[in-house]
Each structure stands twice: as C-alpha cells, then as structure tokens.
Amino acid sequence: MALGIQHFILGLLANQSMSGYDVKRLFGRFRWLIGPSSFGNIYPALHALLDEGLVTMDVIAGSDRPPRKVYHINERGLEALEEWDREPAGSDTSLKTFVMRLLLSGNLDRRELIAYLEQRRAEVVAQRSELEVLTDRACDEDLGRRLALDYGLALSGKEIDWLEQTLEELGTRVVYSEVV
Amino acid sequence: MALGIQHFILGLLANQSMSGYDVKRLFGRFRWLIGPSSFGNIYPALHALLDEGLVTMDVIAGSDRPPRKVYHINERGLEALEEWDREPAGSDTSLKTFVMRLLLSGNLDRRELIAYLEQRRAEVVAQRSELEVLTDRACDEDLGRRLALDYGLALSGKEIDWLEQTLEELGTRVVYSEVV
DNA sequence: GGGTTCATGTAATGGGTTACATGATTCC
DNA sequence: GGAATCATGTAACCCATTACATGAACCC
C-alpha cells in the first residue's frame, strides 16, 4: 500500500478542495522531488475516491474556461485518512515518500509532526553513515559510483541540517496555532 | 521505457559483474535516493537479460556460503546499452532518475558527462525558480506545503552547488584518464 | 495558423510490488 | 532456539505509464 496515489490525493483534499488539474499542477511543482505524474493515474484515483464515498464533487462552470470538477473530502474521507495514518508507515525511507508525507503534514498536530521529523532524521543519519563507510574504501570504485556517493553525502548532509533547523524552530516557538 | 530496471542493471553490469544479490545490496545503499527495490524485479530482469543474450552467467560455488550466480555483460549487451543511451533521455527530471543515471555515468566519456551535468543544472535551476515563485505568495498556504517548499529550496540549492563544484573539478583537472 | 494553457477523460499494456517459498550458516 | 545474513527464485495482482481522444480560448 505504502502511500499510494489515492491516499496521497485524499490527504491533499483534506487541506484544500481541488480539481484533478490542480492536483496535477501540484505534482508538477514538486516533480523534481517526487517524480513524474500523469492524468492517467490522477483522474482514475479521483473517480475511485468518489465511488468509495470518501469525497464529493462539484462541477464549477467557468465563464470563459472549461468547467472544473472540484473534489471535497467528507467525514468518511477524513476517517479513512486517519486510519491510513495509523498504519505502521512501512520501511520506505525514500526521499520521494518523505516529501509526499511532508506535503500532507498539515494534517498532523505539532507533536506528531516533531516525532515524524525526528524519526526521519534518525533514518537519514543511518543512511548517511552507510554511505560514509563506502566512501572510505571507494578508491577502487568507478567514477559513476564515486559521483553518486559524493552526491548522496552532500544531499543527506543538507537534509539533516534542514531537519535540525526545522525541529528547532518547531520546538522554540509556536509556528502554528495549536488547533488540534 | 524511461530507464527501466533492466536497462539500469545492464548499465551496472557494464562497470562490474555482479550477482542479483549484489545488485540488491547496491540498491539498498542508495535506497534513500532511489527508493525501495526487491528481488521480485531484480531476478526477473536478470533472467530477461540472459534470454535476450545480452549477458552471460557463471555459477560460483562458495565453500561455506550458497552458490552465487554472477552475471557478465557481453558484446551484444554493450551495443544494446549504447543504443539505449542514444535515446532522447525523456523529460524525467526526477532526483531518482538523476541518481540512477549518475551511477551509470562511468560508461560516459568526460565530454558526455559534462554535458549531462550541465543539462541537469539547467533543469534544477528551472525547478528551483518555480519553487521560489510559490514561496513568495505562500503566506496563505498550509504548514505542510510551506515545509515541503522550504525543503525543496534547501535541497535544490545544495544540488546546484554540488553540480557547479563537480563541473569545475571536471573542467580544471583530469579526474579520469581519458580512455575513450 | 500554430502553440500554449486550461480542462477532462479512456484503454491497453506492461512492469513492478507484494507475498510466498526454500535453505544453509552464524551469532546471541 | 530465534534472528540475521547470504542466496535464490515464482506468481498474481494491481497500479501506473503511455498513448490516444476532445475541445475551447488566447496569444504571437
């Protein structure tokens, strides 16, 4: 299951009602981090959510632009989302999954968010030290491997910095009024 | 096609002969960047490469460990790889695809590698400025979107730095003896 | 007239994930 | 005795990619 597109889109709708086109636009903005997307999976996912009764849909006719189908999450959708979030979260430590979850983190309260970021930090630190070990004995490795290793060290270091800075900000001052 | 796992594994074998288990281990080391993998796609890909006559296979019986099946690329495999590399390369600018190509970049000559990294830099710069525009008008956005945006800016900045530094190193001194 | 943005979809194919299945060895 | 590492695989189902299909408005 591991954060399928249906789950992800439902999470997006929990923040804000959107059309399929809006979802695609959002994907596009983060495509560098989460990879390509297409209407071929977005629209079917939206239809499936409708069929399962987790969202409702309004057709909004624009004056000069094509009519948009805006989807809203409902009570049952919110319940389904919470159920999904309660699941073990799997062992997918990939950057892509992290960013997707980060995009949905508005649905978390501050304590949960902090716990999530701390868990992530531990994972990235572990991953990074694995790369460090490889670097120490990489003299014989080919150029491609060395470059990928170096790249991984650079980015993982930056991510750890970012996590620590963000955690500090979340800890010291109230970023978001505690509504939950 | 977009850099399927079969193509990727063939590229790995061009650098070094490996068993399926070795391939899995390599995936594991970079799983943070390229996502999870499983034997369920590695072994079938290896079998397919064998069937297509692009690789050969040796069974190496270990004294105390299970026998390993080590795969070697052959002439036809090298040709197929070159053909694949000649393809338009698609529009997949995702980090995952970049890292996978980087791992195979040992097969490129220095000029090709520099061109690839320069192309990548242009893509990331474009992606980054898209995020910058969003940040300027993100006051209303929810926390998750703001965090993902901030994260994206941090990492894209770091990647651009890395690309520039690496390009400089490749340009000023000969990192790799020019064999091609 | 052609390209881009907006906006929605369908259908087939293929590939990948997940789960299942096995077995020896070593370390706690 | 149980867990982990080494090592190989199969099979089914599902999901996602790709390509196809349509149409209006706007700008160069």
Per residue in B44-91, pLDDT (tens digit) is 999 999 999 999 999 998 777 889 999 999 999 999 998 887 765 667
Q: Which of A27, A51, A54, A31 is nearest to A39 (CA)?
A: A27
Spatial distance from the CA of A22 to the C1' of C3 (Å):
22
User: Nearest residue to C14, CA vs C1'?
Assistant: B1
pLDDT of residue B180: 43
Q: Is the pLDDT of residue A91 over 90?
A: no
Return d(Cα B113, Cα B170) in angstroms, integer.
9
Spatial distance from the CA of A6 to the C1' of D16 (Å):
12
Q: From B101, which residue of chain A is nearest by alpha-carbon distance?
A: A144
Q: Give the orientation angle of helix A5-15 with respect to helix A39-51, to 10 degrees.
A: 70
Give pLDDT tens digits for B85-129. 776 566 789 999 999 999 999 999 999 999 999 999 999 999 999
Q: Is the pLDDT of residue A163 over 60?
A: yes
Q: Mean pLDDT, to the nearest integer, of A115-124?
A: 94
Longest dimension (CA), chain B: 65
pLDDT of residue B1: 46
Return d(Cα A129, Cα B38) in angstroms, integer.
22
Spatial distance from the CA of B176 to the C1' of D7 (Å):
35
Q: Is the pLDDT of residue A89 over 70?
A: no
pLDDT of residue A138: 66
Sheet with strand B68-73: strands edge to edge: B18-19, B68-73, B55-60
Spatial distance from the CA of B161 to the C1' of D14 (Å):
40
Q: Which of A31, A100, A94 is nearest to B30 (CA)?
A: A94
Q: From A26, which residue of chain B is nearest by alpha-carbon distance?
A: B145
Beta bridge partners of B71: B18, B57
Q: Which residues in chain A are closer than 8 Å to B30, comparing Cβ atoms?
A: 148, 152
Spatial distance from the CA of A40 to the C1' of C10 (Å):
9
Q: Which nucleotide is nearest to B90 (CA to C1')?
A: D18
pLDDT of residue A180: 43
Q: Which nucleotide is nearest to B23 (CA to C1')?
A: D7
Among A1, A26, A29, A114, most B C-beta atoms within 10 A, so best to mutate, is: A29
Q: Which residues in chain A are closer than 8 Å to B103, comparing Cβ atoms?
A: 144-145, 148
Q: Mean pLDDT, to the nearest integer, of A153-170?
A: 97
User: What percent of chain A lies above the pLDDT cut of 90?
Assistant: 76
Q: Mean pLDDT, to the nearest integer, of A7-28?
A: 96
Query: How far is B33 from chain A, CA to nearest CA, in Å?
Result: 6
pLDDT band at A179 (very low <50, low <70, confident <90, very high): very low
Query: How far is A65 from chain B, CA to nearest CA, in Å?
Result: 23
B33:A155 CB<8 A = yes
Q: From B132, which residue of chain A is nearest by alpha-carbon distance?
A: A29
Q: From A105, which residue of chain B is nearest by alpha-carbon distance?
A: B144
Q: Mean pLDDT, to the nearest integer, of A114-136?
A: 92
User: What percent of chain B lies above the pLDDT cut of 90?
Assistant: 76
Lowest model confidence (mean pLDDT) among A33-42, A107-116, A139-148, B145-154: A139-148
Token readout for B83 is 């053909």
Amino acid sitting at position A72: H
User: What percent of chain A lies above the pLDDT cut of 70?
Assistant: 91
Whether the CB of B86 is less than 7 Å away from nucleic strand C comes out as no
Token readout for A100 is 């997707």
Q: Is the pLDDT of residue B17 over 60?
A: yes
B158:A156 CB<8 A = no
What's the pTM? 0.92
Vertex A14, ends A13 and A18: CA angle to 5°? 25
